[in-house]
Structure 1
Amino acid sequence: MFDVAAEFPGGAFALNLLWSALGVAAVLGVTFGIALVQKRHSVIDVAWAMGFVVVAAVSFAASSAAGADAGRRLLLLLLVGVWGLRLAGFIGWRARDGKEDPRYEALLSKAPGSKNRYALTRVYLPQGAVLFFVSLTIQVGMFSTGTLGWLAWLGVAVWLIGLGFESVGDAQLAAFKADPGNRGTVLNTGLWRYTRHPNYFGDAAVWVGLFLVVADSWPGVLTILSPVLMIWALAGKTGKPLTEARMSGRPGYREYLETTSGFFPLPPRPSTKEL
């Protein structure tokens, strides 16, 4: 199952951990500066995706002379780059009005003192730590020496499914919100008919796919906790729960909860009104 072509370059990988950490710190530092100028901290949502692209680029460069498999390195750079740039671009486009996201307004309203310092300790530092931990899958994969096998190509297929769900789900939601007649209603068509969160499901599938690409070569399988953390955040902590709490008061949302799968896409269930 696992391709072990040569000894994993532990020394070079250890140095890359430092370079990647500095890359994450640089992205968040620049983002914090932009947030101070624009007076809105929701810009970190763009930096979240870009942080992974930076880690992938740093790790790709650092692994060039480490004897790692060139095919896996190029594949990871492509997959992370396409996913990260698309997501960052979409989030940036969605926030083009320059207003602060209600989620951050609610969080920063609890600040006991400086809102900027509170944002730094409660938003930037935790997200930086999570970003670095999740990116360990990418970092290890960039230094793996085994050649691409069937598990890696299965990972590419899962990644494609995830990117499709995320991209189409985002496009359908954007089109829905662009229609003034839909204001205050619930999107329950398209992919949103099969899962209440096609974008979050797609994101999770992307990271499962990336993990499979890396797990194909030892010691990539040891990074299993990285995608697990991402999925837990999306489905159980900051993604799905916060979105549903914000949507709970909308007319028709209770019926939507009854009929539509919470995360994994499934056929719609009949509502209690139909029974």
Structure 2
Amino acid sequence: MNGLLPVAGLSLAAAAIVMTLTAYTARRTGRVSVVDTAWGIALLAVALVCAVLAGTWQSWLLVVLVGFWAGRLSSHIFTRSRGHGEDPRYEKLLGGSLDEVGMGVAVRKVFLVQGAAVWLVSLPLQGAAVAGPDRGWVVWVGVAVWVLGVVFETVGDAQLKAYKADPDRGPVMDRGLWSWTRHPNYFGDACVWWGIWLAGGVASGWVPGLVTVLSPVAMTVWLVWITGARLLEQTMMQRPGYPEYAARTSMFVPLPPKG
């Protein structure tokens, strides 16, 4: 068993180092949105710190789970954003471009917040490093939930890419997983972190499970109501056909389409 303070402190330090390097990259490129690519990398850095401290098979398995998720997410975001300018969401958050508001505002409103969010979401990794594996079978239940999430993310992104490449596509993507949920990638992301909570927090005991449940709850709240689905819906509802699609399709949890 490792001490709580060293694990928590070094995890916070890992997140801070990644966000500092990301802020430097943002200043060089003039784009705060590079933080989206760094999000997964920061969580992987914390997972590695926790595994080195713990040295258990559970923590190293969590490195594999977080690493696969982070690699897929970061490469997807990097490829999608390459060659584009600043994300309008960040310009709205900052109150202007990075050149207009300065790095001080960006650090305060974006990088400090994102660093704290990384630390919060990584609580199951820290719980596993502190307590160690207690219920091995729960680890594999968590892996199963994680696999479900990765499938939804990967298949949903692939279906969206195929839709965009189809010259005969309709005005709204409503094929495959997208006919059951309007945001299969966000749903998959939530499942990934509920799975990691099971494999890291709950599998280490009920107390670590209760303490670290803030991680998947926070991730789900962000994905649904703050930075994810609800925010995107404000723009998508302006598209022809989208209100009708929304009326028959679940926003988040996959359900059979209505009608």
Q: TM-score, normalised by structure 2?
A: 0.92
More helix by share: 2
Contact between 1:53 and 1:84, CA under 8 Å: does it hold in 2?
yes
Q: In the TM superposition, what is the alpha-carbon distance from 1:182 to its structure 2 partner?
A: 4.9
Q: Does 1:105 align with 2:98?
A: no
1:39 aligned to which of 27, 30, 37: 30
Q: Does 1:83 align with 2:69?
A: yes
Q: Does 1:195 align with 2:181?
A: yes
Name segments (4+ residues, structure 1) moved above 6 Å. Answer: none
Task: Look up the match of 1:245.
Answer: 234
Task: Look up the match of 1:263.
Answer: 252
Contact between 1:72 and 1:147, CA under 8 Å: does it hold in 2?
no
Task: Look up the match of 2:19.
Answer: 28
Change (3 A) 1:178 1:28: farther
Contact between 1:71 and 1:147, CA under 8 Å: does it hold in 2?
no
Cα separation, 2, equivalents of 1:149 and 1:174:
38
Cα separation, 2, equivalents of 1:182 and 1:25:
43
Task: Look up the match of 2:137.
Answer: 150
CA deviations over 1:107-154 (Å, ceiling 9, x no partner): 233589624322221111111111111101111113333355222211
The amino acid across from 2:152 in the alignment is F
User: What's the secondary structure of 1:56's corresponding residue?
Assistant: helix
2:243 aligned to which of 254, 258, 270: 254
Q: What fraction of aligned residue pairs are identical, expressed as a percent?
A: 43
Q: How does 1:1-275 map to 2 (within 5 A)?
A: 8-9=1-2, 11=3, 13-64=4-55, 70-109=56-95, 114-179=101-166, 182=169, 185-214=171-200, 215-218=202-205, 219-221=207-209, 222-270=211-259
CA deviations over 1:60-90 (Å, ceiling 9, x no partner): 11223xxxxx221221111111111111111
Contact between 2:38 and 2:74, CA under 8 Å: does it hold in 1?
yes
Cα separation, 2, equivalents of 1:63 and 1:77:
12
Q: TM-score, normalised by structure 1?
A: 0.87
Change (3 A) 1:111 1:93: closer
Largest Rg, 1 or 2 = 1
More displaced, 145-154 or 128-137? 145-154
Q: In the TM superposition, what is the alpha-carbon distance from 1:172 to its structure 2 partner?
A: 1.8
Contact between 1:35 and 1:41, CA under 8 Å: does it hold in 2?
yes
More displaced, 115-124 or 220-229? 115-124
Cα separation, 1, equivalents of 2:87 and 2:192:
25
The amino acid across from 2:208 in the alignment is G
Change (3 A) 1:178 1:40: farther
Aligned residues: 255
Contact between 2:145 and 2:192, CA under 8 Å: does it hold in 1?
yes
Q: Which runs of 5+ in 2 are unaligned?
A: none
Contact between 1:108 and 1:115, CA under 8 Å: does it hold in 2?
no
Q: Which runs of 5+ in 1 are unaligned?
A: 1-7, 65-69, 271-275
More displaced, 117-126 or 98-107? 98-107
- What's the C-alpha RMSD, in Å, of the aligned pairs? 1.9
User: What's the secondary structure of 1:41's corresponding residue?
Assistant: coil
